[in-house]
Structure 1
């Protein structure tokens, strides 16, 4: 099981003096990050879609084998609410294509007040190229009440239901819907906050290994608890947990 572990974003000022040497210019932080992790989740695209030139620059600055997941624009997920997705999806993929072989999955994080609409989700997923992996993170409880329809859509598109954690607990059903997996860690219960404890990380490592036992199953895991460098510490610890139990 290839497990790629990283953080959600890499440009956090309070990581200076930790992951980033005190005097390292911020313009070199991506290179330093890529020396420690094999993947990153790019949150910047959610707030403002970077230009193709920016994506191309990120490709140039990262090594072979590095993977950048891209969080889809809030224009698509929060403003359009997945409706008439053709243009925003095309624009996103046109820009992100400049990552070349660095392009990883696209994440659709749905608004917490977006109620279940499997048909609209299916129409949106249909707009993505078949070669692009798409993970979906629903957040309204009504999605879980329409399990059969939701799972059918995701499985048909080989789209991963995002396994999300908050307070060291799953916040959604742990359904495997694709040949690959996608995890997001929003914050644990350990001290200092928002760190994850060893037991929580061990439990997640066990869940991942049980759900994706095949050596060819790709799983992407991103820590979104950036405060105080917790994401960096926990991503490294999670990597050690998975290595110990292979």
Structure 2
């Protein structure tokens, strides 16, 4: 994943502190008062041959990757559906490889968002929705990323597209055009529109795009895309920040949290997820399942690089 990538030499100069929650976010969460959130943690892909011997048993066939992936994680950010229109036969075959509580979170196909840019896409959208119907009860939220060139001047196009979607469809929107964040009026307008339509927002935490860490929730659910840097020490301190924030949101009553781990090289995503889940369970009293590494390599892969300095642990404050 190249989004938000910076020169590694710059990482120690970036302020990774999470912004304070906007008042609108706090109002939404405090009005929910949910007892305990559902938490889903996963990666963006399951087809990693370099996970064989790490979390996939030696000799695992590619056709069995998803089945093994679902034994470690309870959701997947489905970027595969961005690059190709899904079919019922395809999504049904994927569903048959996972358990009843696993969630697929498919991304709208690029034909809809990047080629047609949300205009005149009813037929394509119908095909997409028909294709993901094969996930049945394993369907999680749908991830919508408008083309990065679509800025505030296209809000009406976005709103019109969202109006065509079924009301019971769980949709989260990610903005990448800097104009949404640099113009306070545009920011307030589009996020208010999403809140009024009960559509969620994606928070993307990437090193080179701190504007996308906006912390503005428009529903009592969070969809977080975390982009690490190969187990650099800052990956761990950033995770510590998120654990504290999620602890706060849990206290306010957030309903669901989807946390997706990305790396510019996905090789080490399982290690950072394991750390995230362990800290989340320790500080938030959750019982999210940790990925299990192959026993003979657990010590090697379970620890950060030997050169990494000691990491700051989250404090006990709420």
Q: Does TM-score exceed 0.5, indicating one fold?
A: yes
- Which residue of structure 2 lines up, in the alignment, with residue 3 of structure 1? 39
- Which residue of structure 2 lines up, in the alignment, with residue 119 of structure 1? 156
Shift of 1:51: 1.4
Shift of 1:215: 5.1
Task: Look up the SS of the partner of 1:33 in the other structure.
Answer: helix
Bigger RCO (CA 8 Å, 6+ sep): 2
Taking the aligned partners of 2:220 and 2:53, their CA distance within structure 1 comes to 39
Task: Look up the SS of the partner of 2:106 in the other structure.
Answer: strand
2:164 matches 1:107:
no
Task: Look up the SS of the partner of 1:40 in the other structure.
Answer: strand
* C-alpha RMSD of matched pairs (Å): 2.0
Shift of 1:148: 2.1
- Which residue of structure 2 lines up, in the alignment, with residue 163 of structure 1? 203
CA contact under 8 A between 1:162 and 1:183: conserved in structure 2? yes
* Aligned positions of 1:89-238 closer than 5 A: 89-116=125-152, 117-144=154-181, 145=183, 146-167=186-207, 170-172=210-212, 173-188=214-229, 190-191=231-232, 197-214=235-252, 217-225=255-263, 227=265, 229-238=267-276
With the length of structure 1 as denominator, give the TM-score of the two structures.
Answer: 0.91
Taking the aligned partners of 1:53 and 1:135, their CA distance within structure 2 comes to 25
Taking the aligned partners of 1:219 and 1:130, their CA distance within structure 2 comes to 20
- Which residue of structure 1 lines up, in the alignment, with residue 278 of structure 2? 240
Note the residue ranges of structure 2 that are not aligned, 5 or more in a row.
Answer: 1-36, 285-318
Taking the aligned partners of 1:196 and 1:78, their CA distance within structure 2 comes to 32
Larger radius of gyration: 2
Where in structure 1 do 4 or more consecutive aligned residues deviate above 4 Å? none
Cα gap change, 1:30 to 1:220, in 2 (>3 Å): same
CA contact under 8 A between 1:167 and 1:189: conserved in structure 2? no
Note the residue ranges of structure 1 that are not aligned, 5 or more in a row.
Answer: none
With the length of structure 2 as denominator, give the TM-score of the two structures.
Answer: 0.72
Shift of 1:158: 1.7
Structure number with higher strand proportion: 1
**Count of matched residue pairs:** 243
Cα gap change, 1:9 to 1:36, in 2 (>3 Å): same
